[in-house]
Structure 1
């Protein structure tokens, strides 16, 4: 049974107005809530015709105490003078209620539904990723940008045999990569064990085999790449990291160390104004920018690792190469 759908019906919702920038900053894990036994589920949505008028709805199990409400207010500086709306929800499936209005997303060849009731899209690869439980449903520009970039990489003939998705969230990007390169090994990890459990459920829902062999996705709970199995399954010829700019910069050495010479790194989760700083961190690790695609304020960066001879001696990349790294099977 879906563990979230089985939660007690006595749930509460706290609502605050916010700006679009504040709403986008709330994607992913919120450090202020990590110490809570049952952190709230945060949902953001547009609140009106004004592009900068957004709303935060926080769903709690049980009545939130003043400290929890204050934590929410701390996340939304623009609402400092606004009294939050606090309401007890009726005996209904509040997760379903919170998802009402979410539309399916089409990104490249992929069509991502957040509700089983929505029809599949003919001529597309369809995934069902329920919203509200982990980041990475396809709704956010960063996830959609990664899907489009993966699709483009396959269309131009790039081939991979060993793929990793670090900070996988719902597992969606790992599933998409495995569909594009079905003879690859796939590794997906997240720091949140709940996200890993959700990824496992999503794999079953979408017919993606879980395991450690070719054409299967192996799931791990890990902070970054700090897990023996993730290191043992390296080197990767394609590594995806759709997280935030700060962690991307911090993880640059460890991520790049696991990429095969000539391999590809896909980065997302950063804002446009953060791109230069993120790129600088990865250039210092021997990466070069091969392609950039912006969706609104959110760029997706495709980088390649410069082959090296001897100790940190860069070598020019063969521009005719198709993206595969040696040692792994291709399609």
Structure 2
């Protein structure tokens, strides 16, 4: 028996609730049985959104309370709905439509490969880890990586901190196929996710050129991350708070004149994030806004100010 809890709210409130959900997942304070999705109610009502929380059991009062906390004060009405028996993972994958970002085409196994010349195709199953390409921050990072390559950026050593599915690391290796690549995530489940996605996309695993080394680590706290520094390119699509906390750590890992790609921050959070990285010795090289999210391409000064 499957159920869902649903709540209707304006788009910005649903997105804030999804961000709050990510924070609770990071701290381990979220019930892993409850899977969230957010979407607009109808194409002609772009500001009216619905937050759905899927459960493998009948919702309890504690489930309603947990969902309500995501909205803070004045939470919307939460409704429970029993669902017909079906394979919800499969159904979710079918609803995740392909995306195009720069030269990249990202889709679940339910959709065909795009073999158009010049297009880089990735298969990323849905409902695994953050970073399927559907979120505006991930798609924005893919587009920015494509821009960086077209503008002549050269990468010999890159790292993806908070990789999720491995997608950004895959994209970097597609653009700079002779680079050393490292991917890390605080969630140990991502190691098996990335390994499977490497298999699906023909990405080699290992520590040599053109291969991906996947590790579990909080932030930059792992010997391999430090041993492979300095990086020509470091990517982090996480959250604004952790990004600001990691500014000094990232500065110590990025080579002088090296590149930093940051995402996971709302446009309203951008000034604070940029200020933290300006102090750490980075300058803005490029900026992209995708919906309410900022994607920042920063470059480290030759000598920090």
Q: Please give the TM-score of this superposition, normalised by the length of structure 2.
A: 0.91
Describe the shift of the 1:298–1:38 C-alpha distance in structure 2 as closer, same or farther (beyond 3 A).
closer
Q: CA deviation at 1:103?
A: 1.6
1:306 aligns with 2:297: no
User: Would you say 1:180 and 2:171 are equivalent positions?
Assistant: no
1:57 paired to 2:52: yes
Secondary structure class of the residue paired with 1:97: helix
Partner of 1:323: none
Match of 1:203 among 198, 202, 208: 198
The aligned residue for residue 29 of structure 1 is 22
Find the partner of 1:104 among 98, 103, 120: 98
Which is helix-richer, 1 or 2? Answer: 2
Question: Residues of 2 paired with 1:121 and 1:105: CA distance?
Answer: 14
Deviation of residue 254 (structure 1)?
Answer: 1.0
- 1:181 shift after superposition: 0.4
1:18 aligns with 2:12: no
The answer on 1:170 being equivalent to 2:161 is no
Moved more, 241-250 or 50-59: 50-59
Q: Does 1:146 align with 2:141?
A: yes
The answer on whether the counterparts of 1:266 and 1:300 sit within 8 Å (CA) in structure 2 is yes
Unaligned runs of 5+ in 1: 1-9, 315-331
What does residue 64 of structure 2 align with?
69
Query: Of the candidates 272, 276, 284, which is equivalent to residue 271 of structure 2?
Result: 276
Structure 2 runs not aligned, ≥5 long = none
1:214-253 alignment, distance < 5 Å:
214-253=209-248
SS at structure 2 position matched to 1:46: strand
1:291–1:36 distance in 2 versus 1, CA, 3 Å? closer
3-state SS in 2 of match to 1:58: strand
- Matches of 1:133 and 1:18, distance apart in 2: 26
Provide, for residues 74-131 of structure 1, a one-character-per-residue CA deviation record: whole Å limited to 9, x for no partner.
Answer: 11358735132232441x2111223343221001100001243344252311101112
Q: Which has the higher strand share?
A: 2
Structure 1 window deviating more from structure 2 (15-24 vs 134-143): it is: 15-24
**CA deviation after TM superposition for structure 1 residue 73, in Å:** 1.5
Task: Tell me which of 283, 286, 290 is aligned to 1:288.
Answer: 283
Q: How much does 1:207 deviate?
A: 0.8
Following superposition, the deviation at residue 185 of structure 1 comes to 0.6
TM-score by length of 1: 0.85
- Note the aligned Cα RMSD (angstroms): 2.0
Q: Distance in 2 between matches of 1:255 and 1:39?
A: 34
> How many residues are aligned here?
300
